[in-house]
Structure 1
Amino acid sequence: MLKVEILTTRIERVGIWPQESESRMLSQPQSPSLHEIDTPKEVRASFSAYCALLALAAANMLCAGDRMIMSVLIQPIKADLGLSDTQMGVISGLAFAIFNGIALIPIGMLADRHSRKKLIAICLFLWSGMTALGSQANSFVHLLLIRIGVGVGEAGSGPIAISMISDLFPPAQRARAISLFFISAPFGTLITAAGGSWIAQHYGWRTALLAAGLPGIALAGLLWLTVRDPRRGAFDKAKSGSALPLTTVVRTIMRQRALLHTMLGIALTSFVISGVGTWAVTFLTRSHGFSLATAGALSAISSLAGMAGAFSGGQVSDRFSNGDIRWCAWTSAAGAGLAVLPLIGFLLFDNAMAAVACLAGYAFFSALYMGPGYSLIQTIIAPRARATANSFTYLLSSAFGFGLGPLAAGALSDHFAWAGSDALRYGLIVVGTALIWSAFHFYRAAKTALDDLAITNADAA
């Protein structure tokens, strides 16, 4: 390579033997930037790759919308079917999360061995069809079974899509492509919060569920017919080989502490995001007297802020890191810590517009981790273990984050019932304190990130 020849020439000019130079380079852990990957600059993703990315991002948008639609419909469903806040917490979070977590690893293993585009199309059809079927539910049990189906289907969204994107785009373009994929999720939440609440108020919650599910059924057919499954490892120097056993991946995560701390930080942030996001519309209706449609529209502002935060997190991390991967952890820690104050403002301010402004600020800072957090995992973990590591991260986020977040908020609201209309306010404050815990884990990840990367490089040598 040209860079190697130039470096060799410079070494020879100053009279340093190559062996001595290599010794000096290995004496300290190296933290390569994602922009320094040894890939020819002329290698660019094809037009079909961008079309596939658009389709996968659209599926991720619908995934986020179908996952969160229950948060918009809590109040009308509760009133219509006579359910408690705890039951709604189970339906909106725990039932989804348990079966989503159970399905994550098996579906990820299938994706490593069979057609990914067919598998993600099947999963999309399943979760969208179950969401639409929810319009016919008449009891807690009906909604519980439907949300279980949605959870199983959505287990095939993120891990499979990120695996495909990694093979559609060369390393120099991969981070940008994955960040765009993640940004589509807040966009789906925005559409669900604004459109779903409007449809529910004017046509009922059953029509809202039907409208949320039908587009995914159509997109599943489009994915199956038009998107190609790229060759695995198409742009990587280390070509695709046999997947590592689960036990090996688990041992690696436990040994390389930065991976474990990053995964825990992501899970804790997801716990707060899911808990607050699920109950935000309900909080605005109960505590500020907004109609369902107005509360949904105001809550949608936080989705826009979340999109800006997800994009900004990657930009800040790449802009200041200069090859130091610890910036991924530092940026994530800063985001979690800075999100605490605006969240408290959202929950305590009596002025509705001030509360909404704080909600937007909280959404911005709490989303900063998305790009840096997942980038840190991809950089440290060995290439052949990335898909499995992503599945474990999604598992933690789903089970602990999305599963327990809404349930904890609902259960705490019932616990603080003596506070009347402030019960949900106090419950969400308690849930929000987990952001401090999350910031601690991201900070701890930065402590060992360089050493863990050195271990990975040494194992690959």
Structure 2
Amino acid sequence: MNASSPVAPSSSHATQSVRAGYALFILTLINLVNYLDRYIIAVALPEIQKDFGINDAQSGLLGTVFIVVFMLASPLGGFLGDRIPRRLLVAGGVILWSLATGASGLASSFTALLLARAVIGIGEAGYGAVAPSIISDLYPREQRTRMLSYFYIAIPVGSAMGYGLGGWLTQTYSWHAAFFAGGVPGLILGTMAFFMPEPQRGAMDGPDAAVKLPFMEGLKGLGRNMAFWATTAGYTLMTFSIGGLAFWMPTYLVRERHLWLEHPGRVGLVFGAITAVAGLTGTVVGGWLGDKMDRKRAGGGLWLSGIGLLLAAPCMYLAVNLKDTTLTFAAIGVAQFLIFLNSGPINAAIVNCVPPAFRAFAMGLNVLCIHMLGDAISPTLIGQIADMASLHTAIAINAVPVLLGGLALLLGAKLFREATPRMQQG
């Protein structure tokens, strides 16, 4: 008996590590499908415009209606995520949005397609607000930025798959087929999500972290949390810019740069490949550097994110003003690398600066803010500017919000560092 006693803790730790790894793996795959489904529509848009006879402003609504519903439903998803088993919200949300993605392919009118995109937003709201809080309860603070970075690797890879797969299926078959294919993986992953482990809230943040927090008390504390709001402001400005850019860039490259006019689907493949490589490397590097910077000083990851956005802004401007196609794609790649540096650090900062019992709601509120003032309005606004001036002009001015977002994140890093002693005491 005595000889076996030291083995038990090691065995328990190994089991816990496997369970955490399984949950992270499933959540990351779901996030990949999440962004695949979002960006199929971007590369299929020229064909959708032809079929339904819609202009750029109307086309922008396909991006806006999804984001509006998603952002409005996210605080409710976060509220429920702090109170019921989160794996149920994840599984149900994934299955709902996957069914709606398939239904998008059945749309026979612009109105029907808008409705399907709205339902996708409801499904994703049940997942987006709670997934980071699950991961934060599976891994300790010193590993959290890196693990969240693994989760957010799915953004560039899923976006690239949406561009690539959507472009290929649209050109080879039809845009309807692209949506049918996009809906299948989520149905499988949604079923698997029912069997994920459900970690205790605050399990990695000390014995006092699991204490339940009355909603109004938590809301009052969040209102005074300036580090949270500065981080959210920077995240919002960044989301405004890259949301509009991601929606319109393939169309810009075909229409105004006249790339591969006979094979427009190739634009989606090339743009998707650049997004995958730059986003994947940026997210991994950001997770590694973010953990390293956070160990050196509180708010170090946020500082890294702010510097990344400040450097990304001029690259975004150059991307639409350089005449050489190779240099244009190079500028796009560098800008995406610098932007994706912040995927892990910025979300780790959000979950770390709020009480564990209030994390899901805080993430849901963050989602509401970054989309309500971010990519909920930018696709339509860019479409309106494009109708009045040109798509080139509309995309060029997108560098300004990224620049301002970098400054906001640097302020957030300062506030986070100043608030750290108070958070530790409280």
The aligned residue for residue 428 of structure 1 is 395
- Once the two structures are TM-superposed, the CA of residue 311 in structure 1 deviates from its matched residue by 1.9
Shift of the 332–175 alpha-carbon distance from structure 1 to 2, 3 Å rule, reads closer
Amino acid at match of 2:244: G
Q: Mark the runs of 5 or more structure 1 residues left unpaired by the alignment.
A: 1-39, 417-422
CA contact (8 A) 2:237 2:404 kept: yes
- Once the two structures are TM-superposed, the CA of residue 127 in structure 1 deviates from its matched residue by 0.6
2:349 aligned with 1:376: yes
- Once the two structures are TM-superposed, the CA of residue 304 in structure 1 deviates from its matched residue by 2.0
Distance 1:409 1:433 in 2: 14
**198-207 or 167-176, larger mean C-alpha shift:** 167-176
Provide the secondary structure at the position in 1 that maps to 2:126.
coil
Amino acid at match of 1:231: Q
CA contact (8 A) 1:63 1:157 kept: no
2:305 aligned with 1:332: yes
Amino acid at match of 1:375: A
Kindly provide the CA deviation profile for residues 103-147 of structure 1, in whole angstroms up to 9, marking residues without a partner as x: 111112222222221221110011111011011112221111111
Distance 1:175 1:368 in 2: 11
The aligned residue for residue 201 of structure 1 is 171
After superposition, where does 1:259-270 map in structure 2 within 5 Å?
259-270=228-239
The aligned residue for residue 444 of structure 1 is 411
CA contact (8 A) 1:314 1:371 kept: yes
Higher relative contact order (CA 8 A, sep 6+): 2
After superposition, where does 1:18-167 map in structure 2 within 5 Å?
43=13, 45-92=16-63, 94-167=64-137
CA contact (8 A) 2:351 2:359 kept: yes
Distance 2:359 2:223 in 1: 15
Provide the secondary structure at the position in 1 that maps to 2:153.
helix
- Once the two structures are TM-superposed, the CA of residue 66 in structure 1 deviates from its matched residue by 1.2
Distance 1:455 1:272 in 2: 34
- Choose which of 315, 320, 324 in structure 2 pairs with 1:351: 324
CA contact (8 A) 1:120 1:160 kept: yes
Kindly provide the CA deviation profile for residues 68-102 of structure 1, in whole angstroms up to 9, marking residues without a partner as x: 2211111110111101111111112x211211112
CA contact (8 A) 1:130 1:149 kept: yes
The aligned residue for residue 296 of structure 1 is 268
CA contact (8 A) 1:336 1:365 kept: yes
- Choose which of 240, 249, 253 in structure 2 pairs with 1:284: 253
2:272 aligned with 1:305: no
**448-457 or 167-176, larger mean C-alpha shift:** 167-176
Distance 2:386 2:88 in 1: 42
CA contact (8 A) 2:202 2:356 kept: no
The aligned residue for residue 215 of structure 1 is 185
2:146 aligned with 1:176: yes
Distance 1:204 1:152 in 2: 26
Shift of the 167–378 alpha-carbon distance from structure 1 to 2, 3 Å rule, reads closer
Amino acid at match of 2:201: R
In the superposition, the TM-score normalised over structure 2's length comes to 0.91
CA contact (8 A) 2:33 2:186 kept: yes
CA contact (8 A) 2:149 2:286 kept: no
Structure showing greater radius of gyration is 1
Kindly provide the CA deviation profile for residues 294-327 of structure 1, in whole angstroms up to 9, marking residues without a partner as x: 1011111123201211222232233345431232
Kindly provide the CA deviation profile for residues 247-278 of structure 1, in whole angstroms up to 9, marking residues without a partner as x: 44443344232221111101111111111011
Distance 2:34 2:422 in 1: 36
- Once the two structures are TM-superposed, the CA of residue 280 in structure 1 deviates from its matched residue by 1.2
Provide the secondary structure at the position in 2 that maps to 1:433.
helix
CA contact (8 A) 2:316 2:399 kept: yes
Q: Mark the runs of 5 or more structure 2 residues left unpaired by the alignment.
A: 1-9
Distance 2:315 2:92 in 1: 40
Shift of the 235–439 alpha-carbon distance from structure 1 to 2, 3 Å rule, reads closer
Give the count of matched residue pairs. Answer: 410
2:227 aligned with 1:258: yes
Distance 2:424 2:192 in 1: 40
Shift of the 250–303 alpha-carbon distance from structure 1 to 2, 3 Å rule, reads farther
2:203 aligned with 1:234: yes
CA contact (8 A) 2:60 2:383 kept: yes
